[in-house]
Structures are given as structure tokens and as C-alpha cells.
Amino acid sequence: MTIYSLSIEELKNIVKDMEVKYQNINLIDHVKSRLKSPKSIIKKMKKKKYNLNYKELIEKINDIAGIRIICPFQENVYIVRELLMQNPKIQVIEEKDYIQKPKKSGYASLHLIVEVPVETDMGKVYVKAEIQIRTMAMDFWASLEHELKYKNSNVTKQTSKKLLKAAKVMKKLDYEMSVLANETR
């Protein structure tokens, strides 16, 4: 787990450097990080029917370490994405754009699976991590949706429909806030 913790720190440093370099643009509101617990990793591996060994863990589980970059506006999400893609320390393995194509539930976010270099006693190793980039509105919705759906087993179809409706309102709010920001610049 230590190398995954170090990968989070490396990603946070990359983002801090980006924030300093582009501080006049106000690209990022805040950054969150998380490290999956061993119990959560095993649960995911069992759910996906992976063999419970280190090789499968490293090859198939991409989100043990992760950071979430929260941006004020949707256009900032794509600027941050571009800056991360151009960063020589990051190797992008996969990208999923749930902003352009939200999940059926209404979930919207941009995900990058990356490899980031981590210095160890045995030298440099590349560690997989997930970067989620989203707006404050998307983060608000996703946090509440997670609280309702994943920590509560009795979510009805009606509740799911209401969550989808709220996601559409969130998308409109993001758009309106971007329009307002552009009008004031």
C-alpha cells in the first residue's frame, strides 16, 4: 500500500505545480484523494471474479490510489485534462469521459487511469492510479448519489429517477454558471 500512497503524493504534487503555474486562471477549486482499503480491494476483486493474488491486483485493479480534482467550471475540466496529458511524469493508460456521455444513473465526471513514477528503495516504479476530474456541481451530485445508493440498500426505482432528474438539473446549473463566468470576464 505504501507505493500507492506515494503515487497519490506524486499526483498531488503535479496538481499543486499546475495550480501555481496557472493560478491566474483559477482552474481548480480543490483536490481530494483516497486509498482503497485492503478489504475494499478484495471485495472488488471477488466481485469481478479476479484471482486473489498480487499479479491480478497490479494488472487489473486501476483505482487503488486516486485523486479527484474539483474544478469551478466544466471548461476547466478539459483544460486540466490537457495539462495532465501533457505532463511528462504521467502516462495516460485509459480515459473515460462521463461528462460527454454520462452514465445511465446521471453520473458525470472525466476519469483518467494513469501510471505515475514513484521512487522506492529498489528504484523508480510506475504505479497505476485514477484521476477523476469534475465540476463542483458534479461532485456534489456524485457524493450524495454515492451516499444514497451505495450506503443504503433500499433505493427504489423512483429514487433513481429522481437522482437522474437532479443530474440533469446539475448539468444545466454547470452550463449556466459557465455562461455567467464568461459574461463577467
Taken in order of first residue, the domains within the chain and their CATH numbers are 2-136 (3.30.460.10)
Residues with catalytic roles: 130
Coil, strand or helix at 82: helix
Q: What is the pLDDT of residues 20-39, one digit of tens each?
A: 998 888 899 999 999 999 99
122 pLDDT more than 90: no
Q: How far apart are CA 105 and CA 116, in angstroms?
A: 31
Question: Is the pTM higher than 0.85?
Answer: yes
Q: What is the pLDDT of residues 35-83, one digit of tens each?
A: 999 999 999 999 999 989 988 888 899 999 999 999 999 999 999 999 9
Q: How far apart are CA 101 and CA 109, in angstroms?
A: 9
User: What is the DSSP pairing of strand 123-135 with strand 65-71?
Assistant: parallel
